[in-house]
Structure 1
Amino acid sequence: MVLPSSGIERRAVCAAVCAALNVLALPARADTTEQVLTPVVVTATRSAQPLADSLPQTSLFDEQDIADSNADDVLGLIALAPGVQITRNGGPGANSGVYIRGAASSQSLVLIDGVRVESVSLGAAQLSQLMLDQTDHVEVVNGNVSALYGSNAIGGVVQIFTKEGDAHPPRFHFEAEYGSYHTQRQSAGVDGALDADGRTTFSLNVSREKTDGFSSIDPALAPGANPNANGYLNESVAATLRHKFTDKWDAGVRFLQSNGVDSFDDAYGSPTDINKTHDRVRSASVFANGKLTDRWTTHFTVAQGQDRANIEQNGVYTSRFNSENHQYLWQNDFKLADAHKLLFGYEHLDQSLDSDQLSAPDRHVNSVFAGYVGRFGASDVQANVRHDQYSDFGGANSYYLGYAYNFDAHWRASASYAASFRAPSFDDLYYPFSGNPSIQPERSHSVEAALQYASGKVGVLRVTAFQTRYSNLIDYVSDGSGFYIAQNVGRAKVQGVEGSWAGHVGATDIRAGVTFQNPVDETNHEDLTRRARRFATLSAHRSFGRWRVGGEWIVSGARSDYDSTLAGYGVVNLSARYDITKSWWLSARIDNLFDRNYELAYSYNTPRRGAYITLGFNPS
Structure 2
Amino acid sequence: MIQIFTRRQQNFDATVGIGNHDTWRAAAGAGWALGEGRIGVRVGAVDTGGFNSQNPRGFSFDPDKDGFEQQNAVVDVELPLGGVLFDAQANHAEGELEFDRGVSDLRNSQLALGLSSADQEGWSLRASQAENVYDTPAFFSRFETRRRQLDWQHLAYAQGRNTVLWGLSWVEDDGASIDTFSGSDKYAGVREHRAGFIAWRGAAPRLSWELAARHDDYDGFGGRASAQAALGFELTEAWQLRGNLGQGFRAPTLNELFSPGFGGLFAGNPDLDPERSRTAELALGYSASPWSMDLQVYDTRVRDLVDFSGGSTFAAINVGRARLRGAELSWRREHSDWRLGGNLGWQQARNEITGSDLLRRAPRKANLELARRFGEWWLQADLHAAAPRPDFGGELPGYGLVGLSIERPLAERWSLSLRVDNLFDRDYELARGFNAAGTASLLQLRWNAGQ
- What TM-score results when the alignment is normalised by the length of structure 1? 0.67
Per the alignment, residue 186 of structure 2 pairs with 358
Indicate yes or no: 2:164 matched with 1:342.
Answer: yes
2:88 to 248, 253, 259: 253
Give the Å deviation of 1:237: 1.6
Are the equivalent residues in 2 in contact too, given 1:342–1:373 (CA < 8 A)? yes
Per the alignment, residue 582 of structure 1 pairs with 412
Distance 1:542 1:406, change over 3 A: same
Tell me, in whole angstroms, the C-alpha distance in 1 between the residues paired with 2:190 and 2:59. 40
Offset from partner CA, 1:270-324 (integer Å, 9 cap, x none): xxx4x11222333321001104xx67310010111233322232xxx61111111
Percent pairwise identity: 27
Per the alignment, residue 62 of structure 2 pairs with 226
Counterpart of 1:227 in structure 2: which amino acid? P
Tell me, in whole angstroms, the C-alpha distance in 2 between the residues paired with 1:559 and 1:509. 31
Indicate yes or no: 2:248 matched with 1:420.
Answer: yes
Q: Secondary structure at the match of 1:237?
A: strand
Offset from partner CA, 1:482-512 (integer Å, 9 cap, x none): 9887654532111111112244144323331
Q: Secondary structure at the match of 2:158?
A: strand
Higher relative contact order (CA 8 A, sep 6+): 1
Offset from partner CA, 1:485-542 (integer Å, 9 cap, x none): 7654532111111112244144323331110111112233221111110001112333
Distance 1:494 1:331, change over 3 A: same
Per the alignment, residue 129 of structure 2 pairs with 304
Counterpart of 1:230 in structure 2: which amino acid? D
Tell me, in whole angstroms, the C-alpha distance in 2 between the residues paired with 1:510 and 1:174. 30
Give the Å deviation of 1:181: 0.5
Give the Å deviation of 1:226: 1.4
Indicate yes or no: 2:276 matched with 1:449.
Answer: no
Give the Å deviation of 1:602: 1.0
Give the Å deviation of 1:401: 0.8
Indicate yes or no: 2:3 matched with 1:163.
Answer: no
Tell me, in whole angstroms, the C-alpha distance in 2 between the residues paired with 1:239 and 1:306. 17
Per the alignment, residue 74 of structure 1 pairs with none
Q: Secondary structure at the match of 1:337?
A: coil
Q: Kindly report which structure 2 residues correspond to 1:80-119, keeping only aligned pairs within 5 A, or say none.
A: 118=1
Distance 1:546 1:478, change over 3 A: closer
Tell me, in whole angstroms, the C-alpha distance in 2 between the residues paired with 1:607 and 1:463. 32
Unaligned runs of 5+ in 1: 1-117, 119-124, 126-158, 266-272
Per the alignment, residue 181 of structure 2 pairs with none
Give the Å deviation of 1:194: 3.0
Unaligned runs of 5+ in 2: 179-184
Distance 1:503 1:236, change over 3 A: farther
Per the alignment, residue 389 of structure 1 pairs with 217
| Total equivalences in the alignment | 439
Give the Å deviation of 1:445: 0.6
Q: Kindly report which structure 2 residues correspond to 1:104-143, keeping only aligned pairs within 5 A, or say none.
A: 118=1, 125=2
Q: Secondary structure at the match of 1:427?
A: helix
Are the equivalent residues in 1 in contact too, given 2:58–2:434 (CA < 8 A)? no
Are the equivalent residues in 1 in contact too, given 2:304–2:320 (CA < 8 A)? yes
Tell me, in whole angstroms, the C-alpha distance in 2 between the residues paired with 1:213 and 1:484. 27
Distance 1:426 1:342, change over 3 A: same
Q: Secondary structure at the match of 2:411?
A: coil
1:461 to 285, 293, 297: 293
Give the Å deviation of 1:471: 0.8
Are the equivalent residues in 2 in contact too, given 1:280–1:308 (CA < 8 A)? yes
Are the equivalent residues in 2 in contact too, given 1:445–1:468 (CA < 8 A)? yes
Are the equivalent residues in 2 in contact too, given 1:582–1:619 (CA < 8 A)? no
Offset from partner CA, 1:563-588 (integer Å, 9 cap, x none): 21111111111011110112011111
Indicate yes or no: 2:431 matched with 1:601.
Answer: yes
Tell me, in whole angstroms, the C-alpha distance in 2 between the residues paired with 1:507 and 1:175. 26
Tell me, in whole angstroms, the C-alpha distance in 2 between the residues paired with 1:466 and 1:333. 30
Counterpart of 2:328 in structure 1: which amino acid? E
Distance 1:505 1:491, change over 3 A: farther
Distance 1:399 1:431, change over 3 A: same
Tell me, in whole angstroms, the C-alpha distance in 2 between the residues paired with 1:389 and 1:467. 26
Distance 1:435 1:558, change over 3 A: closer
Q: Secondary structure at the match of 1:429?
A: helix
Give the Å deviation of 1:465: 0.4
- What TM-score results when the alignment is normalised by the length of structure 2? 0.91
Are the equivalent residues in 2 in contact too, given 1:295–1:335 (CA < 8 A)? no
Per the alignment, residue 369 of structure 1 pairs with 197
Are the equivalent residues in 2 in contact too, given 1:295–1:336 (CA < 8 A)? no
Q: Kindly report which structure 2 residues correspond to 1:168-207, keeping only aligned pairs within 5 A, or say none.
A: 171-195=11-35, 199-207=36-44
Tell me, in whole angstroms, the C-alpha distance in 2 between the residues paired with 1:597 and 1:485. 28
Which structure dedicates a bigger proportion of its chain to strand? 2
Per the alignment, residue 53 of structure 2 pairs with 216
Tell me, in whole angstroms, the C-alpha distance in 1 between the residues paired with 2:7 and 2:249. 31
Distance 1:391 1:223, change over 3 A: closer
